[in-house]
Chain A
Amino acid sequence: MVIYTVKCSEFVARQIVERTNSRDVELVGFDGCTDNQYAINMLISMIRHPNVGAVLAVGLGCEYIQPEWLADIATQEGKLSSWMFIQKEGGTRLSIQKGESWASWAIRELRSTPTVPMTWKDLVIGAECGGSDYTSGLAGNAVVGRFFDKLTSLGGTAIFEEIVEAVGLKDVLVKRGATEKAKEEIAYTYDKALEYCKSVNQYSVSPGNFAGGLSTIEEKSMGAIVKSGSGKIQGVLKVAQRPEKEGLWLLDSTPDPYWMQFGITNPNDNEGLMDLISCGAHMVFLVTGRGSVVGSAVGPCVKITGNHETFERMSEDMEFDASPILEGTKSMAEMADDLARYVAEIADGKETKSEALGHKEFFIPYKYQENTVAIHRKCEEG
């Protein structure tokens, strides 16, 4: 993985990735010169991610984020690491040359990494939806929910997000909290998200959703929450926080209350996918009704639709067709078994369609978030 620590070093970092010409080399980075704790946490979570074997951090030389410190974290994790300042290396050409040479060496080194068999217990999968329509709640998200029930019953870990798409469903979610603490976290997170939506007068619902038959944020929300299945929710994760144990977790990616509404929620689908990966998801589901083409850096993205027309029209991009549920040709249980088989293949190394097409999108914005669910916030004490 190649990281750029400011927009000014993005070109060089991108060139290193392209010239190394390996599907296994990926790019992530942060555009701002001024740093941001949320963004740093996000970069560190990618460095620590189990899908990443080596890290090259590329900085210009005058920005706040320190590539050397990022490389140190990779070393502590037992990963190959290197870093550079373009200003010290002598500019574009020399930096690309050095980076490409290191990345090619790291790829060769990683080929000899021993592999071990893993089970469902080791697997962490994240899910979010994008471009929802009427099929999302009935088929796409429903099959993910059923699969998540299965995954967690086998000892695996599932993470779902988009609390801003749970509007009107506070009681439904709180009831599913596994412990009193989890219930309190869910209630706090819900109230915070709703307050946020009210204050910016923006709910997470778009013209495409309405054209697709959804009339309100509440209707979209229920369709979205279905993807969490029916299991107990162990607690709420903040971005870049790892689940402390297996089971089902709710991820809160909404900005926490802070000066000038620092950061927006759900700016795009790739931000949500990165959030899930930052919590350790090995693989992410993007459930869509209207269709999407994106992939993701660091974790493979499996695009699922319950809309058969979408699947046919975008068959080179869409991975999994859940529409047989609506046609009545397959039961929900059969469809969830099919999805489990598909997941096993991807976990075993099969390329997703987005990977084969070269999709490796990422998005790390400025945002303010507390590191844990801040039921009692520092600014409110005393």
Chain B
Amino acid sequence: MNEKVFQVNLQDNVAVALTALEAGSTVPLIGDTEQKEITAVTDIPVGHKIALRDISDGEDIVKYGVVIGHAIKNIPKGSWVHLEEMASNYDERSSHLDAVTGAPKDMSYK
């Protein structure tokens, strides 16, 4: 599959990488979108989210046209948006998971 990014809803400020993206690559943006392409400024794993514009700390993260959480730092356009950049408005535990594997870091295995 050629590199591309999918925007679900016109109101969204994040889109989904349908392939893994390398920092610096400019790829087509498809779906419900006004921008034709987006440049990744960080590496983005397949299936993960990329910021479609600069997002400020505390701002809503919108996907599917609905709020799926809020930014916990300033997120530059084109960067990876996941557990270290955003948090749920409900679930506190998901902020304590490893950003790559999703493994819990709040349990003792001693």
Across the interface, B66 reaches (CB within 8 A) one of A133, A172, A217, namely: A172
Mark out the residues of chain B between 15 and 69 whose CB falls within 8 Å of any chain A CB in the assembled complex: 16-18, 30, 45-49, 61, 63-64, 66-69
Bound form: Cα–Cα A63–B70 in Å: 52
Bound form: Cα–Cα A251–B100 in Å: 33
Across the interface, A168 reaches (CB within 8 A) one of B1, B89, B99, namely: B89
Give every chain A residue within 8 A of B102 (Cβ-Cβ): 206-212
Mark out the residues of chain B between 89 and 105 whose CB falls within 8 Å of any chain A CB in the assembled complex: 89-94, 97, 99-104
Bound form: Cα–Cα A377–B30 in Å: 49
Give every chain B residue within 8 A of A169 (Cβ-Cβ): 66
Give every chain B residue within 8 A of A211 (Cβ-Cβ): 100-102
Binary CB contact string for chain B from 70 to 110 against chain A (1 if under 8 A, 0 otherwise) = 00000000000111001111111110010111111000000
Task: Indicate if the CB atoms of B103 and A218 lie closer than 8 Å.
Answer: no
Bound form: Cα–Cα A205–B64 in Å: 18
A219 close to chain B: CB less than 8 A:
yes
Bound form: Cα–Cα A201–B90 in Å: 10
Number of residues in B with C-beta < 8 Å to the partner? 38
Give every chain B residue within 8 A of A137 (Cβ-Cβ): 8, 64
Across the interface, B69 reaches (CB within 8 A) one of A172, A206, A218, namely: A218
Closest to B104 in A: A207
Task: Indicate if the CB atoms of B90 and A197 lie closer than 8 Å.
Answer: yes
Binary CB contact string for chain A from 221 to 233 against chain B (1 if under 8 A, 0 otherwise) = 0110010000000
Bound form: Cα–Cα A51–B65 in Å: 40
Give every chain B residue within 8 A of A91 (Cβ-Cβ): none
- Chain A interface size, as a band, is 35 or more
**Given A197-B90, A207-B104, A218 and B83 touching (CB < 8 A)?**
no
Closest to A171 in B: B66
Task: Indicate if the CB atoms of B91 and A215 lie closer than 8 Å.
Answer: no
Give every chain B residue within 8 A of A215 (Cβ-Cβ): 49, 61, 68-69, 81-83, 86, 88, 94
Closest to B9 in A: A222
Bound form: Cα–Cα A326–B19 in Å: 11
Output the least CB separation between B53 and chain A (Å).
17
Task: Indicate if the CB atoms of A217 and B48 lie closer than 8 Å.
Answer: no
Task: Indicate if the CB atoms of A213 and B94 lie closer than 8 Å.
Answer: no
Task: Indicate if the CB atoms of A213 and B89 lie closer than 8 Å.
Answer: no
**Given A134-B48, A138-B6, A207-B104, A216 and B97 touching (CB < 8 A)?**
no
Give every chain A residue within 8 A of B103 (Cβ-Cβ): 207
- State the main secondary structure of chain A at its contact with B: helix
Output the least CB separation between B15 and chain A (Å).
11
Across the interface, A327 reaches (CB within 8 A) one of B1, B81, B99, B104, namely: B1
Across the interface, B97 reaches (CB within 8 A) one of A134, A210, A218, A327, namely: A210
Task: Indicate if the CB atoms of B90 and A213 lie closer than 8 Å.
Answer: no
A194 close to chain B: CB less than 8 A:
yes
Task: Indicate if the CB atoms of A213 and B48 lie closer than 8 Å.
Answer: yes
Give every chain A residue within 8 A of B81 (Cβ-Cβ): 215
Give every chain B residue within 8 A of A194 (Cβ-Cβ): 90
**Given A213-B49, A216-B86, A222-B68, A203 and B63 touching (CB < 8 A)?**
no
Bound form: Cα–Cα A219–B1 in Å: 25
Give every chain A residue within 8 A of B83 (Cβ-Cβ): 210, 215
Bound form: Cα–Cα A203–B99 in Å: 17
Closest to A135 in B: B47
Give every chain A residue within 8 A of B18 (Cβ-Cβ): 326
Give every chain B residue within 8 A of A203 (Cβ-Cβ): 88, 90-91, 93-94
Closest to A308 in B: B1
Output the least CB separation between B32 and chain A (Å).
12
Task: Indicate if the CB atoms of A138 and B8 lie closer than 8 Å.
Answer: yes
A167 close to chain B: CB less than 8 A:
yes
Output the least CB separation between A100 and chain B (Å).
47
Give every chain B residue within 8 A of A168 (Cβ-Cβ): 66-68, 89-90
Mark out the residues of chain A between 183 and 210 whose CB falls within 8 Å of any chain B CB in the assembled complex: 194, 197-198, 201-203, 205-210
Give every chain B residue within 8 A of A206 (Cβ-Cβ): 102
Q: List 18 A-B contacts (CB under 8 A).
A: A134-B16, A134-B46, A134-B48, A138-B8, A138-B16, A168-B68, A168-B90, A194-B90, A203-B90, A207-B102, A212-B102, A213-B48, A216-B86, A217-B94, A218-B69, A218-B89, A223-B64, A327-B1
